Amino acid sequence: MMEAKKVMLSGIQPSGELHLGNYLGPLRHWPSMIEEFDCYFFLADLHTITVRQDPAALRRRTLSLLASYIACGLDPEKCVLFIQSHVPAHSQLTWVLNCYTMFGELSRMTQFKDKSARNADNINAGLFTYPVLMASDILLYQPDFVPVGEDQKQHVEICRDIANRFNGVYGDVFKVPEPYIARVGARIMSLSTPESKMSKSQPEGCVFLLEKPEDILRKFKRAVTDSDTERCVRYAPAEKPGVSNLVQIYAAATGKTYEDVEREFDGQGYGKFKPAVGEAVVEVLRPIREKTEQLLADKAYLEQVYRAGAERASYLAGKTLRKVYKKVGFLPG
Ligand code: TRP
């Protein structure tokens, strides 16, 4: 008998356009993961409304992200690709798990503290219970691994705590998942302020996945480096954050090691290096942009993909939800 594949799940919020940090971080590793694991990927649209969204823009971005996912190599025949709000079990399990999550532990989430400081006029309950929705997203599918960035590690930890607490009361209902942090290229920094992570909220330092080649090249030419007199291309994040970020991006885009990159640009200064990084990125992103545009022109296909995805996801999610409902004592409907 064939050994069952391990299950992996990840979600991404359609709250902005995908950028190079998303791609060189988690996304790029996903196509190889679908060969190795049973993969569930979803667009976390329920999560986005913790901050106000423009409805038409949210719809547009959700579809565009789905297309980009497929363009990045997530073949919908080989993995389950769906939209979170299409699978009601996510919201349903969230209610149950809200009752097994402590006010104190949610108050300690760093992202809640940051986001409520930034959205002082809209500190809604959803922002507070967001990690419970994320725990539900995960636990419904009993995954072994959850690939997330550093910033989401705390949410995977609280998910584990909630699962252990629930299992402690009712027996082994949930598999307790492991976070899976990709190493190389996991933390791409802004091109304009290399001390902070690349983010769509700082568009000058951010390279979007669907951006035009000339705009990408312009951003790399303007990338902040340093005033080191040797102008030496070297990976040393503490001393040279800007250059190290470019080394990291170039290495990730070309598959070279940091040492290879240092050797390749030895003695050449930043003037040659910056456009070379830009061109490498343009080449990595070109097929993704072209494929995304092609898919977005075929709405019927995309609809068929997300409907089929929701159906497959609902099957597994429904199984877990029924088990939970039974354990807590709800009468079967
Ligand atoms: N909260 C994650 C983010 O903002 C997205 C997300 C939602 C997620 N549910 C998830 C990631 C479940 C992994 C697993 O990036």
**How does pLDDT run across 208-259, given as a tens digit for each residue?**
999 999 999 999 999 999 888 778 999 999 999 999 999 999 999 999 999 9
Does any ligand 1 atom lie closer than 6 A to the CB of residue 146? yes
Residue pair 27/18 in contact (Cβ under 8 Å)? The answer is: yes
Percent share of the chain, pLDDT over 70: 98
Distances (CA, A) of 111 to 13, 108, 158, 181, 270: 15, 9, 12, 18, 36
- pLDDT value of residue 313: 98
- pLDDT value of residue 166: 98
Q: Is 200 a catalytic residue?
A: yes
- For atom 15 of ligand 1, the residue with the nearest CA is 12
Does any ligand 1 atom lie closer than 6 A to the CB of residue 90? no
Using most ligand atoms within 8 A of CB, pick from 41, 91, 137 the residue to mutate for ligand 1. 137
Does any ligand 1 atom lie closer than 6 A to the CB of residue 13? yes
> Which amino acid is it at 323?
K
The number of the ligand 1 atom at minimal distance from the alpha carbon of 134 is 9
- pLDDT value of residue 261: 96
Mean pLDDT, rounded, for 302-306: 98
- pLDDT value of residue 25: 78
**Which position has the higher pLDDT, 73 or 25?**
73
- pLDDT value of residue 169: 98
Q: Is pLDDT of 2 > 70?
A: no
Q: Is pLDDT of 328 > 70?
A: yes
- The residue written with tokens 């532990």 in the block is 105
Mean pLDDT, rounded, for 136-150: 92
| 143 CA distance to ligand 1 middle (Å) | 14
Query: What pLDDT, in 10s, does the model give residues 89-132?
Result: 999 999 999 999 999 999 999 999 998 998 899 999 999 999 99
Using most ligand atoms within 8 A of CB, pick from 7, 8, 9, 13 the residue to mutate for ligand 1. 13
Question: What is the number of other CB atoms lying within 10 angstroms of the CB of residue 232?
Answer: 18
- The residue written with tokens 């940090």 in the block is 21
Does any ligand 1 atom lie closer than 6 A to the CB of residue 38? no
- pLDDT value of residue 125: 96
Does any ligand 1 atom lie closer than 6 A to the CB of residue 191? no
| 156 CA distance to ligand 1 middle (Å) | 9
What value does the mean pLDDT of the chain take?
93
- pLDDT value of residue 227: 85
| 232 CA distance to ligand 1 middle (Å) | 38
Q: Which of 6, 78, 175, 197 is catalytic?
A: 197
Alpha carbon distance 282, 216 (integer Å):
7
φ/ψ (deg, to 5) at 79: -150, 170
Q: Which of 175, 200, 291, 327 is catalytic?
A: 200
| 9 CA distance to ligand 1 middle (Å) | 9
- pLDDT value of residue 183: 53
- pLDDT value of residue 86: 98
**Which position has the higher pLDDT, 133 or 201?**
133
Confidence of residue 148 (pLDDT cuts 50, 70, 90): confident
Q: Is pLDDT of 300 > 50?
A: yes
- pLDDT value of residue 294: 97
Mean pLDDT, rounded, for 135-149: 93
Does any ligand 1 atom lie closer than 6 A to the CB of residue 152? yes
- For atom 10 of ligand 1, the residue with the nearest CA is 11
- Closest by CA to 26, choosing from 254, 199, 186, 151, is 186
- pLDDT value of residue 182: 58
Mean pLDDT, rounded, for 12-19: 90
Does any ligand 1 atom lie closer than 6 A to the CB of residue 138? yes
- pLDDT value of residue 184: 45
Alpha carbon distance 208, 146 (integer Å):
24
- pLDDT value of residue 126: 96
- pLDDT value of residue 192: 96
DSSP class of 88: T
